[in-house]
Amino acid sequence: MTAADLYRRYQAAHAAHRAHRADCTDCTDTGRCRTGQRLFESFARLQDAYLNRQRQQRR
């Protein structure tokens, strides 16, 4: 997987989380419903992977 692919996946995960958060009345700044938590964790994992790839490429 290229860095560009990883970036697209991470941005798509972020958009999915934001869209869910906009419509979900159970999600707050301090807590998330099951779906919101799953979407947030997916976004966070992909963001970490992307940022780690960026750091490795700078070395």
pLDDT tens column, 1-29: 788 899 999 999 999 999 999 999 999 98
pLDDT of residue 25: 94
H or E segment and range at residue 29: none
pLDDT of residue 1: 75
C-alpha closest to that of 42 among 5, 8, 9, 2 = 9
Mean pLDDT confidence for 22-50: 95
Percent of the chain exceeding pLDDT 70 equals 100
Check if the beta carbon of residue 7 is closer than 8 Å to that of residue 50: yes
